[in-house]
């Protein structure tokens, strides 16, 4: 962190994004502000509701205040006469807090908007972080295993989603990593659809996209099932999605551009005239947030490094018919990749 601040010629950074606060000092409360100096110990500001929790969690000085956190931090910062350039997180500081900070600091101090400073540190996961994501993924996969095999008409999408969430918590998850997606039949054409009252009927596709949160770390997977015997068309299209996923996975190793991974999946579908049906990027980073860097998209130049954790999730969507997606959470290793989703990829026939 000291190197990053020095590289950007900052005397301190005001951290306001909760995942970044958690990453840097361990505090998991929802109301905190962290000031990280270029030299010396960071200070966490929080309110009395979090006093005990911050004392237990934070690996830094903690200041509890009944005032606004930004005002308390600004007062302390204005006393640090040597601090000339103070960075703040452009993506998460509220405008009202920025205005209060500007107002409280002498005009000679410059406030410098920063993007992706802490996020860059979070890109490469430590072995301990990878293990936590692996355990988080194992919980989601086990919930899927417990629930999906026994689905029968006329169960509703919302009931299945509720049961998956229940099982994840029973298995030790803090919560679902995002609103669990369960879509039947033609509704599977919505890549980020919400479960609704739709009842399962024979012949329906079942798309399930879920992830857990464990010790703050998320995971993400998508699997497909079908109620009754799949049609030839469905079998064929499913194989093509699997092929696209394999093509993308084969690209994964250190040094490869994120865009090359995306291109591999896209080309694979293109060969079968399905490029237009693939309407999102091939994957995204997974960590303290469910969508974080690096994004595996067409124009992403980031080069992969060992320790990056990403999803590989090509899909095809056809309005009025349905959609197919297969998604794994994967860690890039020194010579390739390791799939963290412990579940086969065959189309489950219900
Ligand atoms: Zn997903
Ligand atoms: Zn995903």
Domain boundary among 86, 107, 122: 122
- Compute the distance between CA of residue 222 and CA of residue 181 in angstroms, rounded to an integer: 9
109/33 same-domain check:
yes
What tens-digit pLDDT sequence spans the chain (350 residues)? 889 999 999 999 999 999 999 999 999 999 999 999 999 999 999 999 999 999 999 999 999 999 999 999 999 999 999 999 999 999 999 999 999 999 999 888 999 999 999 999 999 999 999 999 999 999 999 999 999 999 999 999 999 999 999 999 999 999 999 999 999 999 999 988 999 999 999 999 999 999 999 999 999 999 999 999 999 999 999 999 999 999 999 999 999 999 999 999 999 999 999 999 999 999 999 999 999 999 999 999 999 999 999 999 999 999 999 999 999 999 999 999 999 999 999 999 99
Pairing of strands 336-339, 328-333: antiparallel
Question: 11: domain range?
Answer: 2-122
* CATH code of the domain covering residue 171: 3.90.230.10
95/137 same-domain check:
no
Ligand number with the minimum distance to the CA of 289: 2
Output the CA 282–ligand 2 centroid distance in Å: 9
pTM: 0.94
- Compute the distance between CA of residue 44 and CA of residue 54 in angstroms, rounded to an integer: 8
* CATH code of the domain covering residue 24: 3.40.350.10
Ligand 2 ion: nearby residues, β-carbon < 5 Å: 220, 311
Output the CA 3–ligand 1 centroid distance in Å: 34
Output the CA 248–ligand 2 centroid distance in Å: 14
72/166 same-domain check:
no
DSSP 125: P
Output the CA 291–ligand 1 centroid distance in Å: 10
Instruction: Quick: pLDDT tens for 310-343.
Output: 999 999 999 999 999 999 999 999 999 999 999 9
Say how many domains are in the chain. Answer: 2
Instruction: Quick: pLDDT tens for 230-255.
Output: 999 999 999 999 999 999 999 999 99
- Compute the distance between CA of residue 36 and CA of residue 239 in angstroms, rounded to an integer: 50
H or E segment to which residue 34 belongs? strand 32-37
60/140 same-domain check:
no
Domain boundary among 67, 92, 122: 122
Instruction: Quick: pLDDT tens for 253-265.
Output: 999 999 999 999 9
């Amino acid at each position: 962190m000291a190197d990053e601040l020095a590289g950007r010629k900052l005397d301190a950074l005001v951290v306001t994004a909760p995942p970044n606060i958690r990453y840097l000092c361990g505090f998991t409360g929802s109301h905190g502000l962290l000031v990280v100096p270029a030299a010396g110990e960071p200070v966490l500001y929080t309110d009395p509701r979090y006093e005990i929790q911050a004392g237990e969690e934070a690996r830094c000085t903690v200041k509890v205040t009944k005032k606004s956190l930004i005002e308390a931090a600004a007062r302390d910062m204005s006393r640090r006469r040597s601090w000339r350039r103070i960075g703040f997180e452009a993506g998460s500081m509220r405008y009202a807090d920025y205005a209060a900070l500007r107002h409280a600091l002498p005009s000679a101090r410059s406030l410098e908007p920063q993007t992706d400073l802490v996020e860059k540190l979070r890109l490469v996961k430590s072995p301990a972080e990878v293990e936590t994501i692996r355990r988080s993924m194992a919980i989601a996969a086990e919930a899927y295993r417990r629930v999906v095999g026994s689905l029968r008409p006329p169960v509703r999408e919302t009931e299945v989603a509720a049961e998956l969430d229940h099982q994840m918590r029973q298995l030790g998850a803090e919560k679902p990593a995002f609103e669990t997606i369960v879509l039947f039949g033609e509704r599977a054409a919505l890549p980020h659809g919400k479960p609704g009252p739709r009842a399962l009927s024979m012949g329906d596709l079942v798309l399930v996209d879920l992830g857990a949160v464990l010790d703050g770390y998320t995971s993400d997977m998508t699997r497909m099932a079908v109620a009754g015997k799949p049609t030839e068309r469905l079998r064929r299209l499913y194989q093509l999605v699997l092929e696209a996923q394999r093509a993308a996975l084969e690209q994964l190793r250190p040094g490869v551009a994120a865009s090359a991974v995306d291109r591999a999946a896209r080309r694979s579908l293109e060969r079968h005239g399905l490029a237009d049906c693939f309407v999102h990027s091939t994957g995204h980073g997974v960590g303290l947030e469910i969508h974080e860097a690096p994004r595996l998209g067409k124009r992403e130049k980031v080069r992969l490094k060992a320790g990056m954790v990403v999803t590989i999730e090509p899909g095809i969507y056809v309005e009025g018919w349905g959609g197919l997606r297969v998604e794994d959470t994967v860690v890039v290793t020194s010579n390739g990749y390791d799939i963290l989703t412990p579940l086969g990829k065959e189309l489950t026939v219900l």
